[in-house]
Every structure is written in C-alpha cells, then in structure tokens.
Amino acid sequence: MTDNNFNSNYTGGFVHGGQGDQGDQNGQQGINPVQPVQPVQPVQQPQPDPMQEPGAGSFPSQPPMAGMRPPTPPAPPQDPSLEGYFFGSKMKDFKTTIVLPQNELTFDEAKFLNLLAGSISLSLEEKKKIIDSIPKLKQAQVDELMRIFEEERSKFIELSPKHAAQLKKLEDQYASEWKDLELKYKAEAKSQEDAGKAEEIRKQLGL
C-alpha cells in the first residue's frame, strides 16, 4: 500500500520553484565575488653611483668587522731637505770664536769645542760652566768628557734615519744657542779689556 502523503512531501533533496528558488537567488545577490589579490611589488633600493663622490648621497661605507684594524694610511713624504741627513753633519765645518781658558791639560781643544757645541744633552749654561771650569779639571775628567760626547754623537747618528726631522730641529736650535754663547763671551772679553784699559790709565795717573 502506497502512502500518498510520503510521495507528495518527498522531494529527494531538490526544491523546484517557489520559495526555494527565491532563497537561492537572494543568497546569491548578498554575496560579493572575491577579488583577486594583486601581487606586492618589492621595494627597489637605490643603488649608489660608483662615479659619485663619497658622502654625496651615496651609502655610507660598512664599518670594519670586529677584531679587524682599519688600513694604515701611507706615511707622508719626507722633507727633501732631510734626504741624506745625519746628526752632526754640519759640525764638519764648525768654527767658533770661543777659546778655552789657559790650562795644563793635554787634549784636542778644537775637537773638544766641536763635540761640546754639538751636544744636545747639555743646556747652554751647562756648556758655559764646563768651558769656565777647564783650568780646574783633571786630565781624567777631560778625557771622560770627550768619551761621553763622542758616544752621544755616535748614538744620534744611528738614530738619524728614523728621527731626522726631530734631530735636525734640535741641532739647529743648539747651533743658534751656541751663537748666543759666542756673543756673551765677546761681551765679557770686551768688558775685561775696558777694565784693563781703565786700570792702566789709573796707574799712569798715579791713582
């Protein structure tokens, strides 16, 4: 026996016409179609111009890595006037108006004055004291002074290639000071000469 109600209500999952169709249309009208996603373009970083001067809009150079030293800048060119220089070279033609006091010692006085004038380890006052004390010195003391001055000059000659600028500056300074010492001795000699003339005049006058 067939159930009429079952046949009239069973639709097999399909709805034909009526409210079912309207629901589908309303549902389709309420849904917006999905828009395709546009691909994201990568940002182009500006490239530094290899011909552009550093610092004019170019990228800063990368800092050195930890533990690495920056390159050493080249040494400045040496002064042409120092080429071939060695300490004491100007003392070959050394001449001075200073004369050592009279003494009973045996030594090369010209060489002694040459070494003394070229020394950069003594002040001008110390050099003057040595000259003035010559008559009071013993032979061994003068010989020791000669040895010390010669050793000093030899050591500075060895240092000349690396320290030419500093040594030449000191040598020029002490040469200028020695000229001042010469003027001082000339003034003292003139003063002694004037004093001697005055004494002679007093004797003649019976004073």
Domain that holds residue 162: 96-182
Tens of each residue's pLDDT in the chain, 207 residues: 544 444 445 444 444 444 444 444 444 445 555 566 566 565 565 565 554 545 545 445 555 555 566 666 554 445 666 777 778 888 888 999 999 999 999 999 999 999 999 999 999 999 999 999 999 999 999 999 999 999 999 999 998 888 888 898 988 899 999 999 999 999 998 888 878 887 888 787 777
Closest CA to 167 of 91, 68, 65: 91
pLDDT for 62 equals 57
pLDDT score recorded for residue 10: 45
Q: Determine the pLDDT at residue 48.
A: 55
Query: What integer pLDDT is reported at residue 203 of this predicted model?
Result: 81
**Selection from 80, 90, 78 nearest residue 162 by Cα:** 78
Residue 21 within any structural domain of the chain: no
pLDDT at 97: 94
Given this model, what pLDDT does residue 22 score?
Answer: 47
Cα distances (angstroms) measured from residue 26 to each of 21, 31, 32: 9, 9, 12
The answer as to whether 10 is a domain residue is no
Domain assignment of residue 162, yes or no: yes
Residue 173 lies in a domain: yes
Domain count, the chain: 1
Task: Please give the sequence-ordered ranges of beta strands (E in DSSP) within the chain, or none if there are none.
Answer: none
Query: What is the predicted pLDDT for the residue at 156?
Result: 92
Assigned domain for 44 exists: no
**115 lies in some domain:** yes
Count of other CB atoms within 10 angstroms of residue 75: 6
Calpha distance 181→173 (Å, rounded): 13
pTM of the model: 0.56
| Neighbour count for residue 115 (Cβ, 10 Å) | 21
Within-domain flag for 187: no
pLDDT at 6: 45
Whether residue 110 lies inside any domain: the answer is: yes
